[in-house]
Each structure stands twice: as structure tokens, then as C-alpha cells.
């Protein structure tokens, strides 16, 4: 006597994590900017790339470099969730942000937040300017 073949239950597909840097990159490109990713992965131990890696930003705060004729050049720090103020403080804590701004560069912090009841994230943009505390 044959037993009916059992059909395994369908596995729920895991939702892909939100990639804030990619979202900011696409948003800036849609606005006419060219964009380069400044983050790099570097070895955290003597094992080199066979061991754990850490993510390093340019100047320890810049994730993206953007350029647009007539607008200039801009560094962007990107975050997801409710970490906007932490990222603003992180940028302002590094003395190099002042040099960047005094050199004519622009500086923004992008925070991608999903509001209750929404399916899409929205980007809150804060521009950091020279002379402001």
C-alpha cells in the first residue's frame, strides 16, 4: 500500500533588508546628481579578508559623494530609522566636516523612516552648514 507523498509547507520568503545607501543613491541620481559610494570594507583582524570586516566611511562620516554642475559637490551621511540626530552629531564631532564646508562642499544627512501605516519609507534631509552649532 502506497502512502501519499507529503508536500512540504511553503517557506515564507524573508523580506530583503532596506538598503538606505542605495535608496539615497537612486534619489540623488533621479535629481540629476552623479553619485559614488564612499564606504569600504576593511579587515578588522590580522586574518585579512578571511576574518571579520568593518565598514569605513570617508572622513568617518561620509557614505556618498555627489556632484552636479551648477550645484557643486556634496557628501552625504545616510541612516535608516530614528538615528538622525546621532548621525548629525557624528558628522559635527569630526573636525573635517568644517574643512569640507569651508572648501565650498555641501553636506547632508539622509534619514530613511517608515511611518506607521505606510508601506514606503520617506527620506528626511538635513543640510549641515558652516557656522551652525
| Residue 29 phi, psi dihedral angles, 5° rounding | -65, -40
CB 40 within 8 A of CB 48: no
pLDDT tens for 55-74 read: 889 999 999 999 999 999 99
Instruction: Give me the pLDDT at residue 77, please.
Output: 95
Instruction: Give me the pLDDT at residue 52, please.
Output: 86
pTM of the predicted structure, to 2 decimals:
0.80
The strands making up 64-68's β-sheet, listed across from edge to edge, are 34-37, 64-68, 72-80, 106-113, 122-128
Confidence check: pLDDT of 105 > 60: yes
Fold of 20-128: Trna Endonuclease; Chain: A, domain 1 (3.40.1350)
Amino acid at each position: 500500500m502506497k502512502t501519499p507523498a507529503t508536500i512540504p509547507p511553503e517557506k515564507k520568503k524573508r523580506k530583503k533588508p532596506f538598503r538606505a545607501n542605495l535608496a539615497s543613491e537612486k534619489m540623488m541620481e533621479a535629481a540629476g546628481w552623479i553619485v559614488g559610494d564612499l564606504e569600504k570594507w576593511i579587515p578588522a583582524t590580522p586574518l585579512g579578508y578571511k576574518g571579520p570586516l568593518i565598514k569605513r566611511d570617508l572622513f568617518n562620516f561620509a557614505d556618498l559623494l555627489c556632484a552636479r554642475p551648477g550645484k557643486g559637490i556634496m557628501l552625504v551621511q545616510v541612516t535608516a530609522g530614528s538615528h538622525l540626530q546621532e548621525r548629525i552629531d557624528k558628522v559635527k564631532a569630526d573636525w573635517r566636516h568644517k574643512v569640507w564646508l569651508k572648501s565650498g562642499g555641501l553636506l547632508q544627512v539622509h534619514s530613511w523612516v517608515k511611518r506607521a501605516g505606510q508601506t514606503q519609507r520617506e527620506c528626511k534631509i538635513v543640510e549641515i552648514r558652516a557656522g551652525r552649532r
